[in-house]
Structure 1
Amino acid sequence: MTEYGRGQGSEPWHPEDPLFGDGGWEGQQQAHAGQQPAYGGQPQHYPQQPQYGDWGTGEQSGYGQSQQYQQQYDPQQYGGQGHQQYDENGWPTGTHAQAPYPDPADPYGQQTVGYDGQQPDYYGTPDAYPPPEPPSRRSEEPEQRTDWDPGPDQGEHAFFAGGDDDDDSDEPGDDSGRGDRRGRGGKPKKRRSGCACLVVVLVFGGGLSGVGYYGYQFYQDRFGAAPDFAGDGTNETVTVTIPKGAGGYAIGQELKKQGVVKSVDAFVAAQSQNPDGKTIQAGVYVMKKEMSAASAVEMMLDPSSQNNLIIAEGSRNTAVYQEIDKRLELSKGTTAKAAKENYKDLGLPDWALNHPNLKDPLEGFLYPSSYAVSKGQKPEAVLKEMVARANEKYEELGLETKAKSLGLDGPWQLLTVASLAQAEGTSHDDFRKMAEVVYNRLEPGNPETYGSLEFDSTYNYIKNQSKIDLSIAELRQYDNPYNTYYVKGLPPGPIDNPGEEALRGALNPTDDGWYYFISLDGKTSKFTKTLAEHEELVEEFNASRSGD
């Protein structure tokens, strides 16, 4: 039969024993049996334990029966405690009687007592090794070291490390070393560094400065005046290109990029204060650097500041090509050659292609307007922009949809009629009448011309000239498809680039029966319905010229 509670007991205490005061499993078994470990080689007395199957009566009758335990103490070894007695019911007796229930701090029910009658320290505090000696044996407290340094992570706070004017020593004026500045609790006393405080001041000062700066920027962005230059600018000039449809902010961004204005907001504000309500047109402007926003707006509204290529109404392609060469600083004939070789790639509509006997396939499609042309551009790019502008206008006016209603084969013929009205008209007021003259003469059975146009402008176009003193004999003898004195009907194509008024006149001609016209002063035209009325005007014109 195996016995429980029997054994040799715990070993004597050893100074290097980390479990001093803890008897382990065997010690706990002994505690349940009412035993205390012996120290210093003192024998221990164990009460007789019942064995399994040894169920008797009386004091050794086992579970459910009262037991009497007797524990011996050495009065000299255990602080003077005497012999503990128990009554017949198992309760302790005498002045040192203890409750039969275990102490909550000692869950295993053991009450190990040290040399001085106090509980031992199980948690490894500095006083745990070795255990304190009895008062009679204690020696004087050793002298503390004066060279003690807690190190960077001991006894000092990393932020307030160092000292200040406050001295926390026990004695006023105590200037002993670090070891003498330990308090009664064993903790080193700390002193704050003036350098650390300066760092704190700088950190908070820098934070306040940053908040102030960004607060000022926030105010300036939302409530302050936009940054702006002063004056009319420097002597340095730049070329600024403003694309079509650009608004105030887009223009301001381009000006700021070129160094003309200081901020976009300043320019937009100045433009909104324009009293005349004028708008800045697309084009090329010669501007000064570092101009005030108001000065920049004023200059851009002045037509003289624009450096655009202006295509006048009724201009022929030959003149347009020459102007492009000059603006791009190209050799003469460069743009004309590019137009001849690349006209199919410049965006012409389908109805403008594949017409025979054309002098220039692009005639009529270099729309009169203002174009931003500057050195460095390719001539093809400039021509493509002009063709695109023409397509936009022709679609807007409806040339393709309205040509049939006017008795024409298509928009190509309608564009040619507009170019004739543009070439022969002298003012915007007579374009509708001029267009009616064209339509009436085109009628094959008309009693005045019988289908012949007989316009001097067609002859001048093929000759690339602008003469007015032309003889009928000369005109009728020149064999060329564009010479309407030689062939009936319309020329192969447009003879110039008509403007919007001429186009509208061709789309909406008068219906008054006009067949003839003449300009007496070179500015206005007079229209007649019969040849006789026309001859009277011719005699009047010749008389005025002979009198000069």
Structure 2
Amino acid sequence: MTEYGRGEGSEPWHPEDPLYGDGGWGGQQAHTGQQSPYGGQPQHYPEQPQQPQYDDGGWGDGQQAAYGQAQQQYQQQYGEQHHDQQHGQQHQQQHGQQQYGDQQYQQQYSQQPYGQQQYAPQPQQQYDNGSWGTGTHAHVPYTDPSDPYAQQQQGVAYGAEQQPDFYGTPDAYPPPEPPARRRTEPEPQQADWDPGPDQGEHAFFSGADDDEDDSDDRDDSKGGRGDRKGRGGKPKKRRSGCACLVVLLVFGGGLGGVGYFGYQFYQNRFATAPDYAGEGTGEVVSVVIPKGAYGSTIGQKLKEAGVVKSVDAFVAAQEQNSKGKTLQAGAYLLKKQMSAASAIEMMLDPKSQNNVVVRPGERNISVYKAIDQQLELSSGTTRKAADKGYKSLGLPSWANSNKDIKDPLEGFLYPGTYPAAKGMKPETVLKEMVSQAAEKYEALDLTAKAKALKLDNPLQVITVASLVQAEGKTDDDYRKMAEVVYNRLDLANPETYGLLQFDSTFNYLKNESNINISESEINSNQDPYNTYTQKGLPPGPIGNPGDGAIKATLNPTDDGWYYFVAVDGVSKTEFAKTHAAFLKLKDKFDASSGS
């Protein structure tokens, strides 16, 4: 006798046992009056005569016949299933001697007389040991009182009077259930990922909308497929058309981007760049081109001003013009809606260049005048702006170190071409020039260079360079002229004893450019810039030196030169080391000039 089913025993079934006689699986429901799913009428089975209670455990003829009939019916329905005592022991070891009834019920009913016990079917514990297909037992076995497991099984088989009838619940008979308790299979519910009625089309693309979902919910409430929330407690996700719209937008944007870049590739590779025709309209505009600008940058500036139609057209025209690469930085007066080729030609014409050009050695007074003219300002406007606002134009900290300087910006309007179009302020033009000079001088590290040349400060380096620029004519002249300056600045030199004696410094203070200056005029003037009467360098630069003069100032010759004479009065300069050699050069000059 095992806990999985009844084997052959010596005790008959009790008449009140639910499986007594021909009850079987359907006997219980027929007894309780339940409807059968097979035809809707209660099923009736031949009722066996009641047997008297037994006291000594013996078997009567009727009881033995009833037991045999029940056993035969059971075997016909489910087959002969035999389990030995060893299988029950293994199961008890595996499940920790778990019994079908509560210990409290076993203790309560094991002490009651057998005939007074009430028989109520109890739910069967489900086991699956790998050999039973159903993993459950449908009948309540009769136990032998002498069996060591009978006391425990009896408490389960014959439940207490106070216990509820769990056989009325759906879990009492796990499948396969007895025929009397089988119900119609519920309609299978679709999972959230189920493709739906189209069998293969994803729910996202099925075309279902929120209204269909709502109708499904209403059908469930009427007893259709059941409550949706019964599936794991999660409501079914609603499909929305917004997701489809997002997909369409993504695909549409991708196609649009591919089309745009494809069009641009075609335009760049094969199509002609957009361009205007002709020499433009009558409207004139000023365009400022920065220094170091490439063709594409110039083209962009012209396009923004409305001069050319496209950057590509300008770059192509610049490549086709042999002088296109010679365009300089500056301001240009151009017409609107010009062809790219016409714009190139007009920019190459000096008349269209709306710039101010600072030449090497040019004095500030001349630069101020040019700015006034270019900006169409009254004479002297730029000079006044320089005197008033020079401190805000970006001068180096070492500038203006001498109180006798006539112009704080002298030597700091770096030679070059600068935009100066009508409508611009003079301070804007001047600031660009000063910024360029400050950048150049900083790169040369003039503080260290001044110390190496035995000069007091960087300002004196620029002053020497301005003298070299004013007196020299060529790069070779610049280096010799720089040596002349340094030799004469030596107060102990045996030739001039510290006097420079340069006409250029006297002409600066006079704002003149005379070659023939009388000795009386020179000797009578005691201005700090007069190097005939004042030893050493003038207070500040006398012009704006260029790159050549600055480089020569930092790298003079070392040949012993003290004198120089422009023998032709213009471009040819000769140098001498002694005063006697100088007098010969002077005679040569006098002869050439007819004096």
Is 1:390 paired with 2:437? yes
Distance in 2 (alpha carbons) for counterparts of 1:276 and 1:282? 15
Q: 2:462 corresponds to which letter in structure 1?
A: L
1:518 maps to amino acid: A
> In structure 2, the residue corresponding to 1:403 is in which secondary structure?
helix
Equivalent pair of 1:314/1:423 in contact (CA under 8 Å): yes
Does residue 233 of the first structure (1) align with residue 279 of the second (2)?
Answer: yes
In structure 1, runs of 5+ residues without a counterpart are 10-25, 68-104, 113-119, 124-156, 159-205
Q: Which residue of 2 aligns with 1:109?
A: 179
Checking the alignment, whether the CA contact within 8 Å between 1:59 and 1:66 is kept in structure 2 is no
Say whether 1:321 aligns with 2:368. yes
In the TM superposition, residue 297 of structure 1 has moved relative to its aligned partner by 3.6
How far, CA to CA, are the matches of 1:377 and 1:465 in structure 2?
30
Worse-matched range after superposition: 530-539 or 349-358: 530-539
Flag the 1:50–1:62 CA change in 2: closer, same or farther, 3 A.
farther
Question: Per the alignment, in what secondary structure is the counterpart of residue 575 of structure 2?
Answer: strand
Shift of 1:44: 8.5
Provide the residue aligned with 2:389 in structure 1: 342
Check conservation: 1:232, 1:291, Cα contact below 8 A. yes
Specify which of 23, 40, 43 is matched with residue 37 of structure 1: 40
State whether structure 2 residue 71 is matched by structure 1 residue 64. yes
Q: Which amino acid aligns with 2:520?
A: A
1:257/1:107 Cα in 2 relative to 1: closer, same or farther (>3 Å)? Answer: farther
Task: Indicate whether 1:509 and 2:516 are aligned.
Answer: no
Say whether 1:363 aligns with 2:433: no
1:419 deviates by 0.8
The corresponding residue for 1:265 is 312
The 8 Å contact of residues 442 and 489 in structure 1, kept in 2 or not, is answered as yes
Counterpart position of 1:247? 294
Is 1:217 the counterpart of 2:220? The answer is: no
Match of 1:312 among 328, 343, 359: 359
Counterparts of 1:122 and 1:442, CA distance in 2 = 118
SS in structure 2 opposite 1:409?
Answer: coil
CA drift of 1:58 comes to: 3.4
Q: CA deviation at 1:311?
A: 0.6
What amino acid is the match of 2:71?
A: G
> Matches of 1:408 and 1:216 in 2, distance apart?
66
1:441/1:515 contact within 8 Å kept: no
1:36 and 1:396 map into 2 onto residues whose CA distance is 111
The answer to whether the 8 A contact 1:419-1:495 is kept is: yes
CA distance in 2, matches of 1:45, 1:431: 137
Contact 1:422/1:431 (<8 A) preserved = yes
SS in 2 for 1:5: helix
Quote how far apart the aligned CAs of 1:470 are.
2.3
Contact 2:414–2:545 (8 Å) recurs in 1: yes
Query: Aligned residue for 1:462?
Result: 509
Task: Compute the displacement of 1:526 (Å).
Answer: 3.3
Q: Paired residue for 2:337, among 262, 287, 290? A: 290
Greater helix percent: which structure? Answer: 2
Q: Classify 1:57/1:403 alpha carbon distance in 2 versus 1 (closer, same or farther; 3 Å).
A: same
**Displacement, 1:342?**
3.3
Q: Does residue 409 of structure 2 align to residue 406 of structure 1?
A: no
Aligned partner of residue 465 in structure 1, secondary structure: coil
- % of aligned pairs identical? 51
Aligned length: 401
Q: Deviations over 1:230-278 (max 9, x none)?
A: 5443133322211112222222221222222222233334434454683
- Output the CA distance in 1 between the equivalents of 2:423 and 2:52: 119
Counterpart-to-counterpart distance in 2, 1:438 and 1:341: 33
RMSD across aligned positions (CA) = 4.2
Q: Deviations over 1:422-449 (max 9, x none)?
A: 2223445422232232222222122332
Structure 2: which amino acid aligns with 1:322? K
Distance in 1 (alpha carbons) for counterparts of 2:65 and 2:572: 153
Counterpart contact for 1:285–1:306, Cα < 8 Å: yes
Task: Show CA shifts across 1:472-517 (max 9, x none).
Answer: 1111112221111221111111111111122222223332524232
Change (3 A) 1:513 1:8: closer
User: CA–CA distance in 2 between the matches of 1:446 and 1:6?
Assistant: 146
Equivalent position SS for 1:261:
coil
TM-score by length of 1: 0.62
Alpha-carbon distance in structure 1 between the residues aligned to 2:50 and 2:509: 142
User: What residue number does 1:495 align with?
Assistant: 542
Cα distance in 1 for partners of 2:508, 2:496 equals: 21
